Chains A and B, each alone.
Chain A
């Protein structure tokens, strides 16, 4: 039977999302397809699959990404789909532990891709924040501009908080990487 569940995860909580998917699988609800804030599960044996997700640099349709996805598939994993540049894989638990990264360097590279995405979001959002603020205080005094400026500012703060969370994760990995590979 198919179950549809709506759930929201912040970009910087990708590890929580992964953990949730694996916990669902452990209960016998295995993810089969993904969409924007939407997850489709099917009933399977408990713990039949392990799940991993990853942010790719380019869109999943890009030839470079397609090459990577088919490489991962060749190692026994199944590609379930994508949301923007996030791709979702699963592999049967009986083929051993499923990981996408097995050293600090590639884990740090992955975090750097997430950091870049958050920085772009912050930059894109900076313009409406400043522009609406300038309109309200300098030109129009329309409440709508003030509201828009406040919303943009709130988003900016939220993304900044996410950025700090990812930076902390990266710092932890870098510290471990100084002694071990």
Chain B
């Protein structure tokens, strides 16, 4: 079983989310920026490191390269989806506790 007891980094979380559709590196950067309303801007080096680590863990996979295209496309795997789901549960717990204790803010959403 994958060890995913820790929190995912914001970058990893958003990269996985963005890869529910096939994207190449630059596409991931744009998608993550769009998803986060311009807040999370992934830099190329950080993205490269995260992609390499996730490929190794089997959370994402590289799609077969199209002829004539140098750009590599990636997509989330079932293992990656599982990791995302578990992260969602963790985040929900964080939100629930925060709202319960701080109150107020919860009504806004």
Interface residues of A (CB under 8 A from B): 54, 68, 70-72, 74-77, 96-97, 99-103, 105-106, 109-110, 181
Chain B residues within an 8 Å CB radius of A54: 45
Instruction: Say whether B44 contacts A71, CB under 8 Å.
Output: yes
A110 to B45, CA, bound (A): 10
Instruction: Say whether A102 contacts B25, CB under 8 Å.
Output: no
With A76-B26, A181-B9, A181-B10 known as contacts, the answer to whether A106 contacts B44 (CB < 8 A) is no
Q: Which of B9, B10, B25, B45 contacts A101 (CB 8 A)?
A: B45
Q: How far is the CB of A130 from chain B (nearest CB, A)?
A: 38
Instruction: Say whether A103 contacts B11, CB under 8 Å.
Output: yes
Instruction: Say whether A96 contacts B41, CB under 8 Å.
Output: yes
Interface residues of B (CB under 8 A from A): 9-11, 24-26, 29, 41-49, 70-71
Q: How far is the CB of B7 from chain A (nearest CB, A)?
A: 9
| Nearest-neighbor residue (CB-CB) of A77 within chain B | B44
Instruction: Say whether B70 contacts A100, CB under 8 Å.
Output: no
A/B interface sample: 20 pairs, CB < 8 A:
A70-B70, A71-B25, A72-B48, A74-B24, A74-B25, A74-B26, A75-B26, A75-B29, A76-B26, A97-B41, A99-B43, A100-B43, A100-B45, A100-B46, A102-B41, A102-B42, A103-B46, A106-B43, A106-B45, A106-B49
A181 to B29, CA, bound (A): 18
Chain A residues within an 8 Å CB radius of B43: 99-102, 106
- Lowest 6 CB-CB distances: which A-B pairs, in order? A102-B43, A99-B43, A100-B45, A72-B44, A75-B44, A102-B46
Instruction: Say whether A75 contacts B9, CB under 8 Å.
Output: no
Chain B residues within an 8 Å CB radius of A96: 41
Chain B residues within an 8 Å CB radius of A70: 70
Chain A residues within an 8 Å CB radius of B42: 102
| Nearest-neighbor residue (CB-CB) of B51 within chain A | A71
| Nearest-neighbor residue (CB-CB) of B9 within chain A | A181
Most chain A beta-carbon neighbours within 10 Å: one of B24, B45, B49: B45
A100 to B46, CA, bound (A): 7
With A102-B46, A103-B46, A106-B49 known as contacts, the answer to whether A74 contacts B71 (CB < 8 A) is yes
| Nearest-neighbor residue (CB-CB) of B29 within chain A | A75
A99 to B49, CA, bound (A): 14
Q: How far is the CB of A32 from chain B (nearest CB, A)?
A: 20
Chain A residues within an 8 Å CB radius of B24: 74
A94 to B33, CA, bound (A): 16
With A74-B70, A74-B71 known as contacts, the answer to whether A101 contacts B46 (CB < 8 A) is yes
Instruction: Say whether A105 contacts B48, CB under 8 Å.
Output: no
